[in-house]
Amino acid sequence: MRRLFLLVVLLGLVVAAVGLVMLGAFPPEPHPQQIQKVLPNERFQPK
């Protein structure tokens, strides 16, 4: 039973390590989005 537990833990560590290597080698591309901010005209009135 203990050997099975260690095998499952080792397999999980291997899968996590492979996942990290894959993310490092092929990082996900960002999805840029345009941001528009509307400023009120009152901020630009001369005093």
Domain annotation covers residue 46: no
Domain annotation covers residue 5: yes
Task: Output the pLDDT for position 47.
Answer: 66
Domain annotation covers residue 21: yes
Q: What range does the domain containing 4 cover? A: 1-29
Number of domains, the chain: 1
Task: Output the pLDDT for position 20.
Answer: 96
Task: Output the pLDDT for position 44.
Answer: 80
Domain annotation covers residue 37: no
What pTM was computed for the model?
A: 0.59
**In whole angstroms, how far apart are CA 7 and each of 1, 4, 21, 26, 47?**
10, 5, 21, 28, 74
- At residue 23, what are phi and psi to the nearest 5 degrees? -65, -35
Domain annotation covers residue 9: yes
Domain annotation covers residue 35: no
When the pLDDT of each residue in the chain is averaged and rounded to a whole number, the result is 92
Looking at 4-13, 26-35, 36-45, which range is the least confident one? 36-45
